[in-house]
């Protein structure tokens, strides 16, 4: 499983009264300016009807979605491909604003962010839905469903921020499913959290149009992109998507100087060739910079890709060597407990400055973001 899998350690709304009620039982869920009509759809479930922000009205009550590169053309009373955005009388609505299906307090390393407030907590949440259909989806129970198919709870952006404050979490992570398809909720959470000194983190596939991504960056604190592979063939056949828009998102993040970390789930025979890893690492180095962390994560069979074995550790070792050979300073190995690639090393003197065991920080030697030995600045968000 990937490090950021809610099925392992999260409270799901399906388990009892709902994750927010369990996690934040001392809080009353506050009203929020993003008002929308709540539509009951069954026990423990609900849809919101909050106006969408990124779309164009067309003739005959049709709309064109402006959120992700699919640019869905949606007729009246129909939904986009993601299944969580609906056209009603020529107006587009998000059905999952303020309707999380998962809320949990995680180590920030679980996202994984290794250069953002190491050892701290992230209040993590998800609403249903995704705009890709990855055959290896780790969280398909909430990502590859319609919102009516998974129980949700009512939690406004203001309530999520109060919950983070209650648990002294310096970050809120929009994660687990695909936050792009609930971008209005992400934006409103981040806008409410920013004045409180709480950073909102986006954990995303990066399959989004430039305009909404640019607007989100005004309020986000950091972004992690799941780069599925480095070929259009993989995106088309394994994810029913496209690579180029994701590369455009990564370029935008670099241009806007948003702190970004990249994760690649290395899958045997599909995206693990030395040539592909080298091309991918070269792109990160040349287009984003050598200090962008790259996480190479071990694949385990799941969802519709159960006929492929787990990634051999030697494949990850080779991939890490190749990426570092291309000049990347911070290349990590994920889902291999105790691997040397779990740790952070100073590029100047090779001192281990952060030691980890899985997703737990065992020791940090950083001195105000610098190596204590050679005093080189280690890039990241440390305070």
Same domain (yes/no): 86, 116:
no
d(CA 293, CA 333): 11
Backbone angles phi, psi at 235, to 5 degrees: -60, -40
> Taking the CA of residue 370 as centre, how many other CA atoms within 13 Å lie in the half-sphere pointing to its CB?
8
What is the pLDDT, as a whole number, of residue 46? 80
Same domain (yes/no): 85, 42:
yes
Same domain (yes/no): 312, 238:
yes
As for how many domains the chain has, the answer is 2
The pLDDT tens digits for 125-183 are: 999 999 999 999 999 999 999 999 999 999 999 999 999 999 999 999 999 999 999 99
Same domain (yes/no): 307, 161:
yes
Report yes or no on 375 lying in a domain.
Answer: no
Same domain (yes/no): 184, 275:
yes
Same domain (yes/no): 106, 45:
no
DSSP string, 230-296: S-HHHHHHHHSS-SHHHHHHHHHHHHTT--EEEEEEE-TTTT--HHHHHHHHHHIIIII-TTS-EEE
pLDDT tops 50 at residue 238 = yes
pTM of the model: 0.91
The pLDDT tens digits for 204-237 are: 999 999 999 999 999 999 999 999 999 999 999 9
Q: Give the Cα-Cα-Cα angle 303, 146, 250 (nearest 5 degrees).
A: 70
Percent of the chain with pLDDT over 90: 88
Report yes or no on 230 lying in a domain.
Answer: yes
The CATH number for 305's domain is 3.20.20.70
pLDDT tops 50 at residue 6 = no
Report yes or no on 382 lying in a domain.
Answer: no
Same domain (yes/no): 90, 129:
no
Report yes or no on 24 lying in a domain.
Answer: no
Same domain (yes/no): 174, 277:
yes
Same domain (yes/no): 125, 54:
no
Report yes or no on 205 lying in a domain.
Answer: yes
The boundaries of the domain holding residue 43 are: 37-94
Same domain (yes/no): 229, 297:
yes
104, 128 in Cβ contact below 8 A? Answer: no
Report yes or no on 377 lying in a domain.
Answer: no
Report yes or no on 369 lying in a domain.
Answer: no
User: Count of CB atoms within 10 A of residue 236's CB?
Assistant: 12
Same domain (yes/no): 138, 212:
yes
Same domain (yes/no): 215, 282:
yes
Report yes or no on 29 lying in a domain.
Answer: no
């Amino acid at each position: 499983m990937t490090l950021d899998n809610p099925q392992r350690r999260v409270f799901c709304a399906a388990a009892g009264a709902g994750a927010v009620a369990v996690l934040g039982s001392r809080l009353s869920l506050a009203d929020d300016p993003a008002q929308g009509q709540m539509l009951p759809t069954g026990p423990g479930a609900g849809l919101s009807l909050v106006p969408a922000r990124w779309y164009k009205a067309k003739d005959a009550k049709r709309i064109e979605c402006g959120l992700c590169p699919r640019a869905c053309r949606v007729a009246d009373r129909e939904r986009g491909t993601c299944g969580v955005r609906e056209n009603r009388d020529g107006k587009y609505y998000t059905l999952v604003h303020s309707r999380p299906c998962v809320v949990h307090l995680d180590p920030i390393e679980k996202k994984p962010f290794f250069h953002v407030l190491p050892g701290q907590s992230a209040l993590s949440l998800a609403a249903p839905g995704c705009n890709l259909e990855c055959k290896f989806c780790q969280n398909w129970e909430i990502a590859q469903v319609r919102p009516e198919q998974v129980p949700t709870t009512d939690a406004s952006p203001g309530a999520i921020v109060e919950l983070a404050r209650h648990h002294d979490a310096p970050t809120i992570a929009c994660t687990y499913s695909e936050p792009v398809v609930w971008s209005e909720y992400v934006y409103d959470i981040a806008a409410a959290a920013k004045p409180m000194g709480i950073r909102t983190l986006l954990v995303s596939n990066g399959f989004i149009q430039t305009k909404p991504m640019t607007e989100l960056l005004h309020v986000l604190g950091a972004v992690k992109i799941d780069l599925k592979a480095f070929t259009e063939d993989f995106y088309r056949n394994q994810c029913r998507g496209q690579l180029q828009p994701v590369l455009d998102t990564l370029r935008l993040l670099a241009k806007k100087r948003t702190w970004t970390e990249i994760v690649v789930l290395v899958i045997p025979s599909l995206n693990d060739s030395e040539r592909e890893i080298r091309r991918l690492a070269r792109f990160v180095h040349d287009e984003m910079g050598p200090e962008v962390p790259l996480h190479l994560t071990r694949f385990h069979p799941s969802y519709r890709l159960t006929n492929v074995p787990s990634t051999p550790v030697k494949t990850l070792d080779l991939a890490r060597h190749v990426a570092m050979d291309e000049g990347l300073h911070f290349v990590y190995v994920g889902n291999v407990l105790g691997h040397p690639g779990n740790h952070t090393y100073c590029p100047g003197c090779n001192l281990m400055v952060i030691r980890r065991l899985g997703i737990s920080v065992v020791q940090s030697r950083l001195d105000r973001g610098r190596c204590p030995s050679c005093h080189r600045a280690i890039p990241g968000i440390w305070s």
